[in-house]
């Protein structure tokens, strides 16, 4: 970690301990999202880290963003994910938007005044994203969007939505990407999902009923929306990996601290080799995940092919988070299963990391396809 990253980490630690940690148990119970926490992260410059300074961002890179997300996730996976998904929306606008689109939408996102959301999934199009059915019919001056998007992180609290909709025939080549603002007539929100974890982060249906979107809100060319979504997910998979690393680190921390103080059979339970081996394996999972996430971010920052390693980082780090949080509950035993200690929440927050931004089965598809390409090109 370089000096700047160390400084960012320390700044975040202070903010999270003061502003996030005290609310986490309560807000997990009541499913409350606090916009003032998100804005606080924005005030410190953590909501638009990778966007150029002329659009209100911090002009940093994905290695820096990964360090920040790991630190936030030690205290709250839901807030880390809100920052991560909003960063993905900003990256889409920054990479594929016109100068006018960047000027219009980026500053409020980079400063944390507003949140961004990414609308790809539908009831019949989860892993098979290219089969999406939402349509964008060309009309005079723009498009009419009809359809329902599902499981949208920050649905209802976000102001800017990137929406993938079909302008052409079947398959990936018929998909285009649009920017749709909250408040646009025809855009509404469906039910808020009742979830196992990530309870502080609202997940909703986003519904489009004859929703007119002007032509100037389309991102790049018609038919290139699927590529926009996939390129965004290549980065999103690095940042979700970084979130998983933070959760893993915190779960290990809780397990080690507890095992050093909990006495059974006249000694701290840490002294039992069975538990030492478990914690050694947990530490190994943590450090190997961190290295893979750092490597994926470094490759991306250097403009080198990063898709395969990004999928590996997401797969490894989120599986590690699931395993380590489960083992942390086991080490704490009876109290680990109660809400008196945070590890049961960590275990619930880990599960969906293996599902979002491409299930860990989809990550294997991406890795295998890249392997095939590499071998065929030799
Ligand atoms: N970058 C740029 N273009 C890409 C790309 C990438 N990473 N991956 C694929 N493409 C292009 C391909 O080159 C191809 O274009 P050409 O025909 O011109 O070459 C086109 O896109 C179609 O690609 P595929 O044939 O590979 O598409 P596929 O239908 O076989 O799907 C898949 C591949 C990897 C399974 C993909 O559908 C996928 O990633 N599915 C998972 C979806 C997903 O991750 N959803 C997450 C939802 S968002 C979320 O979870 C956020 C949140 O709330 C936290």
pLDDT tens, 61-72? 999 999 999 999
Is the confidence at residue 375, as pLDDT, over 90?
yes
Assess whether 70 and 30 both reside in one domain.
yes
How many Å lie between the centroid of ligand 1 and the Cα of residue 362?
10
Condensed to tens digits (0 to 9), the pLDDT of residues 40-92 reads 999 999 999 999 999 999 999 999 999 999 999 999 999 999 999 999 999 99
- Vertex 317, ends 297 and 339: CA angle to 5°? 130
Top mutation candidate among 130, 299, 369, 372 for ligand 1, by most atoms within 8 Å of CB? 130
Q: Which of 116, 169, 172, 238 to mutate to test the pocket of ligand 1 (most atoms within 8 A of CB)?
A: 172
| Mode of pairing for the β-strands spanning 203-214 and 187-192 | antiparallel
* CA-nearest residue, atom 13 of ligand 1: 227
- Clarify whether 295 is annotated catalytic: no
CA dist., res. 260 & res. 247, Å (int) = 20
Which one of the listed residues 71, 114, 344, 357 is annotated catalytic? 357
178 with 232, same domain: the answer is no
**In 10 A of CB 1, how many CB atoms?**
12
Cβ-based neighbour number of residue 351 at 10 Å: 17
In ligand 1, the atom with minimum distance to the C-alpha of 129 is 37
* CATH code where residue 191 lies: 2.40.110.10
Check whether residue 51 and residue 99 sit in a common domain. yes
Pocket of ligand 1 (CB under 6 A): 85, 118, 120-121, 127, 129-130, 153, 172, 226-227, 230-231, 233-234, 307, 356-358, 362, 365-366
Cβ burial of 257 (10 Å; 0-12, 13-18, 19+) is exposed
Whether 137 and 110 share a structural domain? no
Residue 343: which residues within 8 A CB-CB, separation 6 or more? 251, 254, 255, 325, 328, 329, 332, 336
Burial environment of residue 34 by CB neighbours within 10 A (0 to 12, 13 to 18, 19 or more): middle
End residue of a domain, out of 203, 223, 243:
223
Could you tell which of 230, 241, 296, 311 is best to mutate to test the pocket of ligand 1, judged by most ligand atoms within 8 Å of the CB?
Answer: 230
Q: 152 and 176: one domain?
A: yes
pLDDT digits (tens, 9 = 90+) for 87-118: 999 999 999 999 999 999 999 999 999 999 99
Residue 182 is classified by DSSP as T
Q: Are residues 99 and 233 in the same domain?
A: no
82 & 143 share domain: no
Whether 71 and 12 have beta carbons less than 8 Å apart is answered as yes
* Residues shown for the chain: 378
Strand partners, 139: 142
CA distances from 288 to 1, 64, 109, 355 (A): 15, 18, 32, 20
**pLDDT tens-place string over residues 163-198:** 999 999 999 999 999 999 999 999 999 999 999 999
Residue 135 lies in domain: 117-223
For ligand 1, atom 18, which residue shows the shortest CA distance?
Answer: 173
Looking at the structure, do residues 196 and 148 belong to the same domain, yes or no? yes
The region that residue 267 occupies, defined by phi over 0 for left and psi between -120 and 50 for alpha, beta otherwise, is: beta
For residue 372, the domain's CATH number is 1.20.140.10
Mean pLDDT of all residues in 245-264:
98
* Nearest-atom index, ligand 1, CA of 366: 34
Distances in Å between the Cα of 231 and the Cα atoms of 61, 235, 274 are: 16, 7, 44
pLDDT attached to residue 378: 77
- Ligand 1 atom with minimal separation from the 81 CA: 54
Find how far residue 175's CA is from the centre of its chain.
23
111 and 122 in one domain?
Answer: no
* Number of compact structural domains in the chain: 3
Percent of the chain with pLDDT over 90: 99
Q: Does one domain contain both 370 and 256?
A: yes
Residue written as token pair 């006018």: 100
| Mean pLDDT, residues 290-307 | 97
């Amino acid at each position: 970690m370089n000096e700047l990253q160390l400084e960012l980490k320390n700044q975040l630690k202070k903010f999270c301990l003061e502003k996030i940690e005290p609310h986490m148990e309560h807000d997990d119970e009541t499913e409350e999202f606090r916009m003032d926490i998100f804005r606080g992260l924005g005030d410190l410059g953590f909501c638009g880290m990778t966007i150029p300074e002329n659009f209100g961002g911090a002009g940093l890179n994905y290695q820096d963003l990964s360090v920040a997300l790991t630190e936030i996730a030690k205290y709250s996976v839901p807030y880390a994910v809100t920052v991560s998904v909003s960063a993905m929306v900003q990256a889409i606008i920054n990479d594929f938007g016109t100068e006018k689109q960047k000027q219009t939408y980026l500053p409020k996102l980079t400063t944390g005044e507003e949140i961004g959301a990414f609308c790809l999934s539908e009831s019949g199009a989860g892993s098979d994203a290219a089969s999406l059915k939402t349509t964008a019919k060309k009309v005079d001056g723009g498009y009419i969007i009809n359809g329902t998007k599902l499981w949208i992180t920050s649905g209802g609290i976000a102001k800017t939505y990137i929406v993938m909709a079909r302008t052409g025939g079947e398959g990936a080549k018929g998909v285009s990407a649009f920017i749709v603002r909250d408040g646009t007539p025809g855009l509404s929100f469906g039910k808020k999902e009742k979830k196992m974890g990530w309870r502080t982060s609202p997940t909703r249906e986003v519904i489009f009923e004859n929703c007119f979107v002007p032509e100037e809100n389309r991102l790049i060319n018609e038919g290139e929306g699927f590529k926009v979504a996939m390129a965004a997910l290549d980065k999103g998979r690095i940042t979700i990996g970084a979130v998983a690393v933070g959760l893993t680190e915190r779960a290990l921390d809780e397990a080690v601290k507890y095992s050093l103080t909990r006495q059974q059979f006249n000694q701290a339970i840490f002294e039992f080799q069975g538990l030492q081996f478990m914690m050694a394996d947990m530490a190994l999972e943590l450090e190997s995940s961190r290295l893979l996430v750092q490597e994926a971010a470094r490759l991306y920052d250097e403009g080198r092919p990063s898709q395969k390693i990004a999928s590996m980082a997401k797969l490894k780090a989120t599986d590690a988070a699931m395993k380590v949080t489960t083992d942390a509950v086991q080490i704490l035993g009876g109290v680990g299963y109660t809400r008196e200690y945070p590890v049961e929440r960590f275990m619930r927050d880990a599960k969906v990391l293996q599902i979002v931004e491409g299930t860990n089965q989809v990550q294997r598809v991406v890795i295998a396809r890249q392997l095939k390409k590499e071998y065929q090109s030799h």
